[in-house]
Amino acid sequence: MEVRNIWQIAPILSAVCVVYADMINLDMNSTLFALLLRFYCRCFVYPYDELTDEIMKTFPPRLASQKGKPAKVAFTLPSYTYVKIAEGCRNNCSYCTIPLIRGPLKSIPIDDIVHQVKASLEKGFFEINLIAQDLGVYGADLYSRPALSKLLKSILAIRKDFWLRLLYLYPSRISPELIDTIRSDPRIVHYIDMPIQHVSNRMLKLMNRDYTKELLRKKIAHLRKAIPGVALRTTFMVGFPTEEEKDFRELEQFLKEIEFDHVGVFEYSPEEDTSAYSLRPRVPPPIKRNRKTILMEIQRDIVKNKNNRLIGKKFLCLVEQPLDKGSRWEGRIYSQAPEVDSVVYIKGYKKHMGTVTTIQVTGFQDYDLTAECVG
């Protein structure tokens, strides 16, 4: 079993152990906790010794307390972590229950976020992923206007080397000011995650998305001109109520035209108490599945062509974990977000080269890249 697969299940087993340990008031630094963890690993995965050894190297990975708040346990690789900058949402998309469950936008003050980022960096994390339902509207409830650029500048005032990644930007809120901020400091990786959902203007209106296909096309063109080499990730929703074949064909053609770096496709699922729940007619499940398959096959070909063009190019790479007892390593370049995107399989890396090193792409395996370490 590769360590990559081990780490996919390690956070789950760790969480189970933490919950159980808390129930019985067991110290997570104790020998008894180590035995408990080893027991769960023996029950659920093989080879359990390798898994428990990997978990215990950095477990429990606690971040420093945030201004008197209880310390958090971080269930991610030691290389990256997530920092939430806001809770709730004010977009009111017709298919989404988040505003009903989590309420309206509630931004976290800038000072608190900067404190958490500093604590994460002190713990050893190199990549900070800022997350929220919509990063672009951050701070509008606290500072009377969106303040994402202000937040980023405050984080960038930290005198350390790190990667800062922005996840989940509503397309219409990617402002010129934000683009300038992203370009101003190489520590902000050139990666934009903007969930589009659809491009048919009729569907976008029914979804209550406040942009059009024309705006999307202009926004993407501007991003690519202003930030050369920017990696773009998006998500599409297929099978939204009343979606017709012509709506889907628009989406299909847009995907071929834009050639995103990463794409996720989801089938619409009706949620009670949303305005879309009563829309009719609904798209039959077999048609939804077929449309998803068509888009993913198109994206697979796009990624193959993009990866082929990367062969021979050099990139800084965040090296994360060993594979095959250290004969290969796994890492990510700027265009690959953790957990959702592809990875790089690296040969020739040695630990003394540091966490971030230069690699040269030699090939690819489906979505993943292969590379030699040249740093």
Query: For residue range 296-315, what is the model confidence (pLDDT) as tens digits?
Result: 999 999 999 999 999 999 99
d(CA 357, CA 371): 12
Show the CA angle centred on residue 330, arms to residues 329 and 332, nearest 5°.
135
What is this structure's pTM? 0.81
Query: At residue 264, what are phi and psi to the nearest 5 degrees?
Result: -115, 140
Helix (H) or strand (E) holding 236: strand 231-238
Identify the CATH number of the domain defined by range 314-373: 2.40.50.140
d(CA 62, CA 124): 11
Q: Where are the domains of the chain?
A: 3-58, 80-307, 314-373
| Range list of β-strands (E), 5-147 | 80-84, 86-87, 106-107, 127-131
pLDDT surpassing 50 at residue 208 = yes
Give pLDDT, residue 58. Answer: 46
Summarize the confidence of residues 77-82 as an average pLDDT: 90
pLDDT surpassing 50 at residue 22 = no
Which residues have a Cβ under 8 Å from the Cβ of 375 and sit 6 or more positions away?
316, 317, 353, 354, 357, 358, 359
pLDDT surpassing 80 at residue 216 = yes
Tens-place pLDDT, residues 217-263: 999 999 999 999 999 999 999 999 999 999 999 999 999 999 999 99
Q: Give the DSSP per-residue string, 280-349.
A: SSPPPHHHHHHHHHHHHHHHHHHHHHHHHHHTT-EEEEEEEEEEGGGTEEEEE-TT--TTTS--EEEES-
pLDDT surpassing 90 at residue 106 = yes
Token pair of 75, please?
A: 């269930």
Name the percent of the chain lying above pLDDT 90: 77
- Cα 71 to Cα 26, 125, 253: the distances in Å are 16, 16, 48
Give pLDDT, residue 27. Answer: 45
d(CA 14, CA 272): 34
Domain with residues 80-307, CATH architecture: Alpha-Beta Horseshoe (3.80)
Summarize the confidence of residues 125-140 as an average pLDDT: 97
pLDDT surpassing 50 at residue 329 = yes
- Residue 261 one-letter amino acid: D
